[in-house]
Structure 1
Amino acid sequence: MARDVQITFDCADPAALSAFWAEALDYRLQDSPPGFASWDQALDAMGVPPERRNDRSAVVDPEGAGPRLFFQRVPEGKAAKNRVHLDVRAAPGLAGDARMAALEAAAERLVALGATRLERHEPAPPLGGGHLVLADPEGNEFCLD
């Protein structure tokens, strides 16, 4: 039996980081619970004070195929390289110059959203198609491949 998977990010600003990843992956912010017109309405009903409303956030795949991404506020900052990272498939089925051009276009869009470009790895046939390494606005590394 396949299991549902959620990917959790520890971060300083859940709302901002979830907005970045929603744009990066064509996801959307998770809807408020049934019976509530907004998250503010739901959080009011739950008694969550305004200063705690950015403690968590989540984004979901609108098609329901990809994993939910959950963002939780933690007091400490990122200290070292990620042990796990996301690979964002930005050039499926492409090779060579066309692949790298598609990756560069995707990187340009994500940098405009707050990502930082870190490295470019050129194609190295037969197994290496080339990829780009970026960091999200809080420094979490990810690959465009």
Structure 2
Amino acid sequence: MSSIKQFQVTFDCAEPERLARFWCEILGYVVPPPPGGFATWDAYNSSQSPEDRDSWCACGDPSGVGPRLYFQRVPEGKVVKNRVHLDVRVGTGLLGEERLAVLEAECARLVPLGAVRVRLLYDGNDSCIVMQDIEGNEFCID
């Protein structure tokens, strides 16, 4: 019998805190309190060596249901399409024009946050909108 395991989704990125806060806005996630012994994240970062400062950030579902997202700084930029992407599920159970209207409304909310609309996939009944986050990682509004 297999056991259920918790998991996190890890993003390689240039600016971990900026990307974490972007995803917090999209998903309603929160950045957890700083590690024990530190009053703020700035205080924690100041305690790190210069090369380790601002090297990671994480955020999580405040209800504890969704996976933790972890953002780690890497030296190289994104050069090819993601092999894995997130689907932000806002239209579950909806079809046709009703589904499309909900997806378009979510897209309109995310673009001012820095998301980029790539394309609409729509077959008259089912639909999704392919987007990119502020560092070019693809995700879908589904």
2:6 paired residue number: 4
Q: Distance in 1 between matches of 2:42 and 2:139?
A: 31
Q: Quick one: distance in 1 between partners of 2:102 and 2:36? A: 39
Question: What percent of counterpart residues are identical?
Answer: 51
TM-score by length of 1: 0.89
Whether 1:21 aligns to 2:18 is: no
1:123, 1:131 within 8 Å by CA — same for their partners in 2?
no
Counterpart of 1:62? Answer: 62
Deviation at 1:35, TM superposition (A): 4.0
Using the alignment, how far apart are the partners of 1:43 and 1:79 within structure 2? 29
Query: How big is the alpha-carbon RMSD for the aligned residues of Structure 1 and Structure 2?
Result: 1.5
TM-score norm. by structure 2 comes to 0.91
Give the C-alpha shift of residue 50 in structure 1.
5.7
Structure 1 segments unaligned to the other structure (5+ residues)? none
Shift of 1:123: 3.2
Indicate if the aligned counterparts of 2:96 and 2:124 stay in contact, CA closer than 8 A.
Answer: no
**Displacement of 1:51 after TM fit?**
6.2
Cα distance between partner residues in 2 of 1:101 and 1:23: 20
Extract unaligned runs of 5+ from structure 2. none
Out of 116, 132, 139, the position equivalent to 1:135 is 132
Q: Distance in 1 between matches of 2:26 and 2:56?
A: 19
- For 1:16 and 1:110, the matched residues in 2 are separated by 15
Q: How does 1:52-91 map to 2 (within 5 A)?
A: 52-91=52-91
Corresponding residue for 1:36? 38
**Residue aligned with 1:27, SS:** coil
Instruction: Show the 5 A alignment for 1:114-129.
Output: 114-125=114-125, 129=126
Q: Which runs of structure 1 show a deviation greater than 3 angstroms over 4 or more consecutive aligned residues?
A: 49-52
Give the Å deviation of 1:21. 0.5
